[in-house]
Structure 1
Amino acid sequence: MDSNARAAPLASRLSALEQRFREIRARTRALAAPLSAEDCAIQSMPDASPTKWHLAHTTWFFETFILSQHAPQYRAFDPAFKVLFNSYYNGVGDKHPRPERGLITRPDLDAVMAYRDHVETAMDDFLHDAAHAEPVAALIELGLNHEQQHQELILTDLKHMLSRNPLKPAYEKHWPLTSVQARKADWIAFAEGLHEIGHDGAGFAFDNETPRHRVFLPAFELASHPVTHGDFIAFIEDGGYRRPELWLSLGWDAVQARGWEAPLYWEKRDGQWHTFTLRGLMPVDPNAPVCHVSFLEAEAFARWADARLPTEAEWEVAAAGVAREGNFLESAAFHPLALREASPRGVPAQMFGDVWEWTRSDYGPYPGFRPEAGAVGEYNGKFMCGQYVLRGGSCATPASHIRASYRNFFPPDVRWQFSGLRLARDAP
């Protein structure tokens, strides 16, 4: 094969990467476009970050790990940004405290957008230089997937911030949803046996999805549909938040200390449950998947329903043959939707999109896991303690970002993510 023939596939791959870079960066800007500068500056709680910080941090990633290390002619936009917009990469150096990101009024939003312009221009030049770009193409792809994670965080953090405003303002005002007929959940049986889980090596994956390995699963059953708002209302009306026998000790402590009576964002008006959405305050749709519940609430509901949460291995085995389709960020609903078409019998519905589904699995390393070398190795491995795995993506997840092996993770009391649940049980 001559040099021209070898160069053609490389040029094609870099061109595709460049196109993906532009599309993902443009989508992040589009998510911020409806917001005022004031909207972009507010941090509503320590777990959340201002939109302006997300815009800057995703830019910081490309500047810090790509341009500053691999583009010889690159000059930093502002050296102070190295500390201001570092998240948790201790190997890079100092960082601004996470709970104080809302205090960064300077640089202003215009300066952050100029920072994005500066880095995007440099990245365009870098991606046209095959000698420099090709060796770090995998790192660039990591940065793009990292930005897609922050696209979801922009929406979840923004929702929490807007919910704190007594005016209950909407991010998008038009509500396109209509009521649908309820669909009863069935149980889908899976035989015992050896299975392989983890990423199969085709395409991008985070390091925590590897290595692929074998697991033995006893026979189990998985609910055909996620738990709905209507299901959760039945739990509430049966005293679910007042019955300590349903709760783990940590969960009951949270119920008592924080006054939980319903999922996050729910409130009763004129005797009917309403929930705050990115389109404002809306009546709860009983047929839509329940969201904004913690692992602790999901676990209590499962016990009330005489079932349990699936393990992540069970979830992945069940999802292996399911089409990766659903209600994702691109639908612009920004809210879980009721199922509008019947799912084929024996195929779990809504496995992807709508809500992240809690599993009963601790977030830990797979057998043989080794984090990446250097600061990027801090991306996942150091968080493998005290958290639980969620699967499947949500209505705020970009469609190209999710796959059956994807492992999300959060502490058990977190509720501001689009997190729901699906029941499992041991085979009879």
Structure 2
Amino acid sequence: MLNPHFITVSDCLRNQFSLVRTRSVTLSEPLSEEDCCVQAMPDASPIKWHLAHTTWFFETFILEKFETDFQAHDPAFRVLYNSYYNGVGDKHPRAQRGMLTRPSLAEVLAYRTNVDDRVQALLAKHDLFSPHSKELAMLVELGLQHEQQHQELMMTDLKYLLSLNPLKPAYSGEALEPALTPPAIAWLEFDAGVVEIGHASDSFCFDNELPKHRQFVEKFSLASRLVTNGEYLEFVKAGGYQEPTLWLSEGWDWVRTERLGHPLYWHPALSASPDEKHTTWLEFTLHGLLPLDLHRPVTHLSFFEAEAYARWVGARLPTESEWEHAACKVDMIPGNLVPNLHPEPSTNHAALTDTFGVAWQWTTSSYAPYPGYVSAEGAIGEYNGKFMVNQYVLRGSSCATPTGHARATYRNFFPSTARWQFTGIRLAK
């Protein structure tokens, strides 16, 4: 599941464990118990479930394996909070996670405390020379990376939930300043050649980033920044959602079936002026319902919408090889969970901006194994490999990605119709 390098079980790992686990609870603190229990759609999960499932991961894959006198905190949790690990056993139906009014939020938080204390005790007694230290540390790091993925999901799932409330409540009361006018898109050219793709260093990576391998790319150009709300609004105004020639066949069928005419979270409203009847636009954000900021990167687009827009402007989406080759030449821009929680365009005037920490960027690459890919043995091997079908790769990271979680080789993936994540557009030619 990650690189087989040696990781010392140390105070550093214990501190990181505490920081990541605390952050998940902190993210839930502005919410009511009702907020934490509701499931807005089958693809999303309740906040309470996220808090419990990430705890289940540590209990199932670490405590059960390494505790000499292991006893489950509650045997029923093994089924309730199993997500998709068939090798572990039965699972509660995904679409019915919002029905779990019990255990209560307080019981889930007590579950977290119990497992946290036991993991910390386990780490404290394993020294550098313990034969299990390497495997233990690798699994703990995997569990922390897994929890950071769920921290991002907590925010995107919550945003979808709050958007369904007619009160349009805000998660964050922090004021959101208008974005600065971005520079015009510049086209950055990259020569054809053989490039190396995939993770190679001793730092953490998921197994789907391995192995490092060579691929040939033709000469291509990549847009210097992401597409903005204002630019995408021109596509909407031009009737882009009504023009079948811009859409892939399956995408056009989806648009017509769902009766779509604009991005998720956009809300058209008539002008208040009686003499000037025109449409103004609002956008639901984690800061509440706000006027659409034309200068911010457009987000919450499906692959179909991103691909149609690219076709409309005479461009295309990049392949993941092109994206990674270009991104390896820029500095990492860390993500920021709080307080922004909204795409913040980079003020960095480097040639390639908004690469990380703004919006996930669709590619035309189907999610498939790299040449030589080998999944881990046992249930832990179900983490990535079995999802390598009918999905597209996204690269970069978003404004909801925890700091330190992103890297140039990271392969996110979603179905072509997914819109509730912070997904945007970087154009290529």
TM-score by length of 1: 0.94
Deviations 1:270-321 (A, max 9, x none): 3211111011001111111110000000000000010000000000000001
Q: Does 1:227 align with 2:231?
A: no
- Match of 1:282, SS state, is strand
Q: Does 1:99 align with 2:95?
A: yes
After TM superposition, where is structure 1 displaced by more than 4 Å over at least 4 residues in a row?
10-13
**Unmatched tracts of structure 2, length 5 or more:** 1-5, 272-278
| Equivalent position of 1:320 in the other structure | 328
Shift of 1:11: 10
TM-score by length of 2: 0.94
Give RMSD over aligned pairs.
Answer: 1.3
Query: Aligned equivalents of 1:162 and 1:133: distance in 2?
Result: 43
Shift of 1:134: 3.8
Structure 1 segment 282-361 matched on structure 2, within 5 A:
282-326=290-334, 328-339=335-346, 341-344=347-350, 347-361=351-365
In the comparison of the two structures, how many residue pairs are matched? Answer: 412
Query: Aligned equivalents of 2:246 and 2:58: distance in 1?
Result: 46
Deviations 1:50-109 (A, max 9, x none): 000000000000000000111112321100000000000000000000000000011010
Read off the aligned partner of 1:275 and give its amino acid letter: E
Q: Does 1:272 align with 2:280?
A: yes
Shift of 1:156: 0.3
Read off the aligned partner of 1:253 and give its amino acid letter: D
Q: Does 1:400 align with 2:408?
A: no
Query: Aligned equivalents of 1:171 and 1:133: distance in 2?
Result: 40
Q: Does 1:71 align with 2:67?
A: yes
Read off the aligned partner of 1:313 and give its amino acid letter: S
Q: Which has the higher helix share?
A: 1
Query: Aligned equivalents of 1:32 and 1:221: distance in 2?
Result: 42
Shift of 1:183: 1.5
Structure 1 segment 89-168 matched on structure 2, within 5 A:
89-130=85-126, 131=130, 132-168=132-168
Asked if the contact 1:189/1:219 (under 8 Å) is kept, the reply is: yes
Read off the aligned partner of 2:238 and give its amino acid letter: D
Read off the aligned partner of 2:123 and give its amino acid letter: L
Read off the aligned partner of 1:66 and give its amino acid letter: I
- Match of 1:389, SS state, is strand
Distance 1:361 1:188, change over 3 A: same
| Equivalent position of 1:250 in the other structure | 250
Residue number among 12, 31, 39 corresponding to 2:27 in the alignment: 31
| Greater mean deviation of Cα atoms: 122-131 or 43-52 | 122-131
Deviations 1:228-256 (A, max 9, x none): 11110011111100100000011111111
Query: Aligned equivalents of 2:59 and 2:154: distance in 1?
Result: 20
Residue number among 80, 84, 91 corresponding to 1:88 in the alignment: 84
Read off the aligned partner of 1:140 and give its amino acid letter: V
Shift of 1:374: 0.5
Shift of 1:202: 2.4
Query: Aligned equivalents of 1:201 and 1:381: distance in 2?
Result: 21
Identity of aligned residues (%): 53
| Equivalent position of 1:41 in the other structure | 37
**Unmatched tracts of structure 1, length 5 or more:** 1-9
Shift of 1:383: 0.2
Asked if the contact 1:334/1:396 (under 8 Å) is kept, the reply is: yes
Query: Aligned equivalents of 2:79 and 2:7: distance in 1?
Result: 35
- Match of 1:268, SS state, is strand
Asked if the contact 2:263/2:300 (under 8 Å) is kept, the reply is: yes
Shift of 1:178: 2.6
Distance 1:232 1:62, change over 3 A: same
- Match of 1:144, SS state, is helix
